[in-house]
Amino acid sequence: MGIIEPVAELLRTASRPFRDAVAMPPSVYTSEAFLARELESIFGREWICVGRASALGKPGDYMTYDLAGQPVIVLRDREGTLRAMSNVCLHRMSTLLEGSGNTRSIVCPYHAWTYNLDGTLRGAPLMKETTGFCKEDYVLPQIRCEEWLGWIYITLDPERPSVAEQLRPLEGMIAQYGMENYAESFRETHVWDTNWKVLAENFMESYHLPVCHHATVGPHSRLEEMVCPPGLPAFNYHWITKEASLAIGNAHPDNMRLEGHWRKTTALLAIYPSHLITLTPGYFWYLSLHPKGTGQVHITYGGGLSPEFMADPKAGEYVSALKALLDEVNVEDRGCTEKVFKGLNAGAAKPGHLSYLERPIYDFMQYVAERTAGFDRQFAVAAE
């Protein structure tokens, strides 16, 4: 399938009014040509979250990431600054670091060219006779890296407005939670057999909670109280109130920031393209997605507690209970989203109408259509 068909179908679908909206066409999930377009115009240009800054707490802490086909190192340098740079050696172009860890320098596994944490070349063995070689000419290309409310974002686009600028309207909406002080207590990476957008959409709607999650969080969710306002240019969101399924679901008694209904309100945030955060008064968890082909998604998954629960003597217990619950919830979501991807590949696949509770999916569709196909998004309310 060429690119023309998915793009034309997507533009048609994105143009429908919300009251008659349907899901995105199957081709945008299954077409290789469309994935190539997404890598170029979405993952190659947007800010992508790689996790919490606290995961790189000490100088020399690093993680690696494949961003739109570019291997990237994200690290904390000796001065304590977060940096991102190319993870490709400047000699014969091997990749350098793998996974995550702590290191004093970046040593290439092929011939041991060795780089400082700022990307400058510290040394290269047995290069003395190559008189044209000058160590100072070699610096690993730097990649933009910003921290926002404790999150690390990277982008390959030198021109993209800063994360803080893009997310300023969101910052105002969620200031009362103090998300920057929430502490990450676990972080993992996973690969599921579904398209990245299927999982992103799953996170954006709580319509599936009572059914897909009937064995875990479903019974605590009240769909009739759910509010799904229209999205903004860089993100969409919805609020749910719930009776806590965990002791940490509602605000801690020592939490003086949250008042009234905020003490039991959860924010579901979808920061485009693929950073998905559940922010509750007592804990948070997140997924950050990157496509791995059309049929697989690479997931960074983490979470932890608000500062009051971290300071509580029972913090350890709370973290274990949270992790156990989220793991179960994720198994349920994995089942549902992998089934959707199977269905999308079937000849019989045909998009149906969206519920008003799936408003964020409609907004996400228009975002994808804008980035990949030049769709003109309209916002009723000004961004700020």
Enumerate binding residues for ligand FES (CB under 6 A): 89, 91-92, 94, 108, 110-113
Rounded to a whole number of angstroms, the minimum distance from the CB of residue 216 to ligand FES is 47
- Amino acid letter, residue 265: T
Q: Does residue 305 contact residue 283 with C-beta atoms inside 8 Å? A: yes
142 bridge partner residues: 85
Helix (H) or strand (E) holding 15: none
Nearer to Fe ion, 72 or 212 (CB): 212
Site map 268..307 versus Fe ion, x via CB under 5 A = ----------------------------------------
Q: CB under 5 to 8 A by kind: which of Fe ion, ligand FES, none does 333 bind?
A: Fe ion
Question: CB of 121: closest distance to ligand FES in angstroms?
Answer: 10
Planar angle of CA 116, 151, 245, nearest 5 degrees: 140
DSSP state, 202?
H
- Minimum Å gap between C-beta 89 and Fe ion is 41
Q: Between 97 and 322, whose beta carbon lies closer to ligand FES?
A: 97
Our finding on whether 358 is near Fe ion (CB under 5 A) is no
Distance in Å, CB of 91 to ligand FES, minimum: 3
Contact flag: residue 205 with Fe ion (CB under 5 A): no
User: Cβ neighbours of residue 314 under 8 Å, at least 6 residues apart?
Assistant: 247
DSSP state of 293: S
**Residue 105 binds which entry of Fe ion, ligand FES, none, with Cβ cut-offs from 5 to 8 Å by kind?**
none
Shortest Cβ 170–ligand FES spacing (Å): 41
175 binds, among ligand FES, Fe ion, none (CB under 5 to 8 A by kind): none
Q: Tell me the residue nearest to Fe ion as measured from the CB.
A: 333
Nearest residue (CB) to ligand FES, 71 versus 219: 71
Give 111 or 168: the residue with its C-beta nearer to ligand FES.
111
- Pull the structure tokens for residue 124: 């290269």
Q: Pick the closer one to ligand FES by CB: 118 or 147.
A: 118
Residue with tokens 């793009």: 7
Token pair listed for 365: 């569709």
Q: How many CA atoms lie within 13 A of 250 on its CB side?
A: 13
Q: Identity (one letter) of the amino acid at 189?
A: T
Q: Which of 144, 364, 191 is nearest to 293 (CA)?
A: 191
Tell me 238's DSSP state. E
Q: Which of residues 313-342 bind Fe ion (CB under 5 A)?
A: 333
In sequence order, the 6+-apart residues with CB closer than 8 A to the CB of 300 are 49, 50, 51, 187, 188, 189, 286, 287, 288, 289
Residue number, 255 or 337, with CB nearest to Fe ion = 337
Residue closer to Fe ion, measured from CB, 201 or 333 = 333
Q: Give the binding site for Fe ion (CB under 5 A).
A: 333
